[in-house]
A and B are shown apart, each in its own frame.
Chain A
Amino acid sequence: MSLLLGSEVNIKRSIDKYLFDNLYTTEGIPIDFEGIKFDQVSNNEWIQPRIVDIQSVFRRQSSSTQYGEDTNILFQINIFVKKGHQTTSDRNFYIRDIILHYFKFGQQITVYDYDGDLNSIGHITVRNISDDFALEERQNIYQYAISWEIDLTRHYTKPS
């Protein structure tokens, strides 16, 4: 039984790939991915993307053989900048602005079938910003948190 767009693995890894291609490869920002070891000692600034919550609303038929679900993903990126490293006062804000280029309202993120043949199987769409603020600084670090609602319609094969 295939879940395709219903698969959380496909969603997580497709978002990870989108971040890797754009924020790590293009922008050079180190990323602390969930599920992978990350060395904070050797990095002066980094981002930490996390899926915070997933809410679904059942929509009955999405085809003659599939059920549909409106799915809302609350996706957050935490930004960390070590004190003493930054040369401007706004480095944590600046990184947030770099990220926002790739998460504008309506931005489509391609979903790949990591469970299967790696083909593109659709996309998820960035909707509104949910949280957007600098967190209280700690003794040695500046922080910023920004989160979005990202939605998709899941399709499930009906159970027999």
Chain B
Amino acid sequence: MATIKDPSGVDILGADGLPIYFSLPDTLGSHGYITNVKRSLDKYLFDNIYTTNNIYVDYQGLPFSTFPVDEWIQPRIVDIKRTYLRQGSSTQYANKTDIFYGMFIYVKKGHQTTSDRHYKLKDIIQQYFIYNQKISLYNYVDNGAFVTYMKVREVDDNGPLQENNNLYSYLIQYRIDFTELILQV
């Protein structure tokens, strides 16, 4: 993956190919940062979809050129819903947090050699997002330590999108949840 630098010339990609986030004051607690959720999902895709299956991933927040690739996926956190659960511990409030995580699949026409390539990519992704699949949540805003697991709960949306002149598209969306603990004021 190409090196990406910010305007001042500083490398903004970490060793895992994902963007480096700058430290934030730890006033929410490790569960409370949506940064951790975003980057942990990015890492999960990087390890399994990109590294293991060689499928290109157009991450939110990273430049991505669609010209040199024939197929790719575009993961996006579409929505986050919370239900307040009051005490998570003597010092923390708890939220049941549902993350709606959509993945758009794109296959350029003329590239694919079978009629089902966008379906095939969906099936590859699905193997890593089966019901009850655990996804590790890491504390990227602090020390990178493991925090807890997020779990895949259900398929929320699933189906091919209308094809356009040069692309086949598919959308699969999952609901992923975890208990978010936020330090009390």
Instruction: Assess the B131–A156 pair: CB atoms within 8 A.
Output: yes
Contact A54 B158 (CB under 8 A): yes
Chain A residues 3 to 22 lying within 8 A of chain B, measured CB to CB, are 3, 6-9, 11-13, 16
A53 at the interface (CB under 8 A from B): yes
Q: A9 to chain B: which residues have CB within 8 Å?
A: 116, 119-120, 123
Q: Which of B112, B131, B160 contacts A67 (CB 8 A)?
A: B131
Count B-side interface residues using an 8 Å CB cutoff. 24
| Residues in B whose Cβ lies below 8 Å from that of A33 | 115
Number of A-B contacts (CB under 8 A): 67
A-B contact pairs, 21 of them (CB 8 A): A3-B127, A8-B119, A8-B126, A9-B119, A9-B120, A9-B123, A13-B116, A33-B115, A34-B160, A34-B168, A35-B114, A35-B115, A35-B117, A53-B158, A56-B154, A56-B158, A58-B131, A67-B132, A74-B159, A159-B131, A159-B132
| 14 more CB-based (< 8 A) A-B contacts, given A36-B115, A159-B132 | A8-B119, A9-B116, A9-B123, A11-B119, A16-B115, A34-B160, A34-B168, A35-B115, A35-B117, A35-B168, A56-B158, A58-B154, A74-B159, A159-B134
